């Protein structure tokens, strides 16, 4: 439908403007945050929020980055997220291959164990994982957190990849098998390249999830210098209790990586979300 | 030869499965045991039978938390589902700028809950926050309040943030579901003289039932997991009025060092979730049988 034709109906035009209004309200938190972050705290206190600022400043971002500690929290988020992401994708593509391509006793049971596990409330794992991590000497290390994320995300990734791998025609794999190709090579050289679209969608989604985790970071880490940005922001909030311009600026800095990912890989992100819910 | 071939799937499974059993399935079972003990997190747990559960059922904070989780669930399976479906229907057609609208609604999903909690805490701020500022500007001063410090509004104020973030997710799922609706069926209904509402009610909605089931189950599970927003915005206060089970459990475990008691809370949380996990698994199993 052309734009002119679309607006030829008054009802459609009215609906369209209603939609614009709702969208603006929806984006209000973002706009509020952006506007707050470039003002000074004094300015908001004396003039109120709805006012034309007397001065504009980027100082809040500098304060949040330096004194607020985001310069150490943000790299930590990557140090935790990237290894966990790769490990979970690698391991889940192994288990997914076994579940998708082989008949063996317990196949179904394992599959349901993985699917069911993804839905567990985290609290039911919290104390034992805390104890296990401590017993392994990994409490307050990045590795402890990486191991947990890798293990927990295995369930969801195995579920998705296994279903995806089942859609790959068996003949391709059979042909390779007849040519004397070993199972491990079939997995690495035939299955993995064919699974790439699903892996891309999954990677985008998993990155966001692991990067945004807060609960496990505060349970498995204690040292401030090791915290990822989510837990760091909570510390920042305690430190700058009334200085909302700095807190909000910090929150905006923390969103940059996932927002960039979303802008450039939006298609994969959405694919991942829907893959998860509609098999 | 034959024997080694039989072992092949296990080579693929061994490492991921060990990790999964060690960090997910094992811990889940161990929590059941911990819930029957008294444990401070440092010395060894001491077996106490059902003492933690007896205490739990006399603890008013437990019932407040349960009630708040229920409010969360009810809000989650109504508002975002209706709004998400409405938006999906509105945006699943040739509208100028449809891509922009869709992106706007699902953009909150990429923010961490911590960031959402902080930004909204500022919007709810009694003096400088956007909401009270707007209310005062339009002459509704008596409606302005400390949204997060008022026991009556605090829970709903937090749930509103969660709803804001959830609508886009539900919309995405319904948009995907609508892709699977055959346009010919809708045309057929129109030819038979059905109006828009009847077409929606009797053709589109039934076809979307599988999506709706998943949406409802996921919403309930997410409601029971709710922790980050409460932790960042209020820590359950004032006077536990915004406490939810996940947050209650965390505070008992890591602030009060009553880990056995905390484990009992999480077991209750597990049993509530289990009902919905089984509904979900049952759905997945039905898909399996279709293969």
Separation of CA B214 from chain center: 12
A74-108 tens-digit pLDDT: 999 999 999 999 999 999 999 999 999 898 988 99
**How does the average pLDDT of chain B come out, rounded?**
91
Please report, for residues A131, B151, B172, the alpha-carbon distance to residue B23 in angstroms, rounded to integers and kept in the order given: 11, 38, 31
- Give Cβ neighbours of residue A94 (< 8 Å, ≥ 6 apart): A187, B12, B13, B15, B16
The residue among A121, A125, A135, A149 with the most chain B CBs within 10 A of its CB, best to mutate, is A121
Instruction: Tell me whether residue B54 is in a domain.
Output: no
- Nearest by CB to B281, from A112, A120, A147: name it: A112
pLDDT, average across residues A183-191: 91
Contact A123 B245 (CB under 8 A): yes
Contact A230 B112 (CB under 8 A): yes
Predicted local distance difference test score (pLDDT) of residue A144 = 97
Instruction: Tell me whether residue B31 is in a domain.
Output: no
Please report, for residues A27, A159, A234, B101, B214, the alpha-carbon distance to residue B165 in angstroms, rounded to integers and kept in the order given: 11, 25, 19, 15, 18
A134-182 tens-digit pLDDT: 999 999 999 999 999 999 999 999 999 999 999 888 888 888 888 888 8
- Nearest by CB to A128, from B27, B107, B214: name it: B27
Contact A278 B177 (CB under 8 A): yes
Is pLDDT above 90 for B53?
yes
Instruction: Tell me whether residue B19 is in a domain.
Output: no
Domain with B255 in it: 61-290
Is pLDDT above 50 for B1?
no
- The pTM for the full model equals 0.93
Is pLDDT above 90 for B156?
yes
Min distance A75 CA to chain B CA atoms (Å): 16
pLDDT, average across residues A181-202: 91
Instruction: Tell me whether residue B203 is in a domain.
Output: yes
- Give Cβ neighbours of residue B82 (< 8 Å, ≥ 6 apart): none
The C-alpha atoms of residue B119 and residue B131 are separated, in whole angstroms, by 12
CB B96 within 8 A of CB A255: no
Contact B176 A48 (CB under 8 A): no
What DSSP state is assigned to residue B109?
A: G
ipTM value for the complex: 0.92
Residue A28 has a CB neighbour count (10 Å cut-off) of 15
Is pLDDT above 70 for B291?
no
- Give Cβ neighbours of residue A1 (< 8 Å, ≥ 6 apart): B94
Instruction: Tell me whether residue B145 is in a domain.
Output: yes
- Nearest by CB to A26, from B34, B105, B224: name it: B105
pLDDT band at A279 (very low <50, low <70, confident <90, very high): very low
Domain harbouring B140, CATH code: 1.10.3720.10
Instruction: Tell me whether residue B164 is in a domain.
Output: yes
How many domains is chain B built from? 1
B239-281 tens-digit pLDDT: 999 999 999 999 999 999 999 999 999 999 999 999 998 988 8
Instruction: Tell me whether residue B51 is in a domain.
Output: no
Residue percentage of chain B with pLDDT more than 90? 68
Contact A208 B116 (CB under 8 A): no
What DSSP state is assigned to residue B142?
A: G
Helix (H, G, I), strand (E, B) or coil at A174: helix
Contact B273 A120 (CB under 8 A): yes
Helix (H, G, I), strand (E, B) or coil at B17: helix
DSSP letters, B250-288, are: HHHHHTS--HHHHHHHHHHHHHHHHHHHHHHHHHHHHHH
Residues of A in contact with B30 (CB under 8 A): 127-128, 131
Instruction: Tell me whether residue B23 is in a domain.
Output: no
Which residue ranges form the domains of chain A, and what is each CATH number?
3-62 (no CATH), 70-277 (1.10.3720.10)
pLDDT, average across residues A57-61: 93
């Amino acid at each position: 439908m052309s734009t002119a034709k679309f607006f030829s109906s008054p009802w459609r035009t009215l609906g369209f403007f209603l939609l614009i209004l709702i969208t603006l309200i929806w984006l209000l938190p973002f706009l509020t945050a952006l506007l707050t972050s470039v003002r000074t705290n004094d300015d908001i206190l004396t003039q109120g929020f709805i006012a034309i600022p007397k001065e504009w400043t980027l100082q809040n971002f500098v304060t949040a980055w330096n004194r607020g500690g985001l310069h150490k929290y943000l790299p930590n988020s990557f140090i935790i997220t990237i290894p966990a992401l790769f490990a979970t994708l690698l391991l889940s593509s192994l288990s997914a291959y076994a579940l998708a391509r082989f008949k063996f006793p317990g196949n179904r049971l394992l599959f349901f164990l993985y699917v069911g596990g993804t839905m567990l409330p985290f609290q039911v794992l919290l104390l034992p994982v805390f104890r296990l991590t401590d017993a392994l000497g990994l409490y307050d290390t990045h590795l402890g957190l990486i191991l947990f994320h890798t293990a927990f995300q295995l369930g969801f990734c195995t579920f998705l990849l296994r279903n995806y791998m089942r859609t790959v025609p068996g003949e391709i794999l059979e042909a390779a098998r007849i040519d004397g190709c070993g199972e491990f090579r079939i997995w690495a050289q035939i299955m993995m390249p064919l699974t790439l679209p699903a892996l891309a969608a999954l990677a985008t989604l998993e990155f966001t999830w692991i990067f945004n985790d807060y609960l496990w970071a505060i349970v498995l880490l204690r040292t401030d210098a090791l915290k990822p940005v989510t837990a760091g922001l909570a510390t920042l909030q305690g430190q700058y209790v009334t200085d909302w311009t700095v807190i909000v600026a910090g929150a905006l800095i923390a969103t940059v990586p996932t927002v960039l990912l979303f802008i450039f890989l939006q298609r994969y992100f959405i694919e991942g979300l829907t893959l998860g819910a509609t098999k | 030869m034959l024997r080694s071939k039989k072992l092949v799937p296990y080579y693929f499974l061994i490492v991921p499965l060990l990790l999964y059993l060690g960090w997910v399935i094992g811990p889940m079972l161990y929590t059941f045991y911990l819930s029957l003990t008294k444990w401070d997190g440092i010395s060894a747990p001491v077996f106490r039978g059902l003492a933690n559960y007896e205490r739990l059922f006399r603890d008013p904070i437990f019932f407040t938390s349960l009630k708040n989780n229920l409010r969360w669930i009810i809000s989650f399976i109504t508002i975002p589902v209706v709004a998400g479906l409405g938006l999906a229907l509105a945006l699943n057609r040739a509208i100028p700028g449809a891509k922009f609208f869709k992106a706007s609604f699902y953009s909150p999903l990429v923010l961490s809950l911590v960031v959402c909690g902080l930004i909204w805490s500022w919007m709810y701020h009694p003096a400088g926050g956007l909401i009270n500022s707007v209310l005062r500007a339009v002459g509704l001063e008596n409606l302005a309040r400390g949204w997060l410090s008022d026991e009556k509004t605090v829970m709903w104020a937090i749930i509103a943030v969660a709803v804001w973030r959830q609508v886009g997710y539900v919309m995405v799922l319904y948009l995907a579901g609508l892709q699977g609706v055959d346009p010919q069926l809708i045309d057929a209904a129109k030819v038979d003289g059905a109006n828009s509402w009847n077409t929606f009610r009797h053709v589109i909605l039934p076809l979307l039932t599988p999506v709706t089931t998943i949406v409802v189950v996921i919403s309930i599970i997410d409601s029971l997991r709710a922790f980050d927003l409460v932790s960042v915005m209020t820590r359950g206060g004032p006077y536990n009025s915004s406490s939810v089970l996940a947050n209650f459990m965390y505070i008992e475990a890591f602030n009060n060092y009553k880990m056995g008691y905390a484990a009992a809370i999480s077991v209750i949380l597990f049993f509530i979730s289990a009902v919905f996990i089984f509904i979900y698994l049952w759905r997945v199993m039905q898909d399996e049988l279709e293969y």
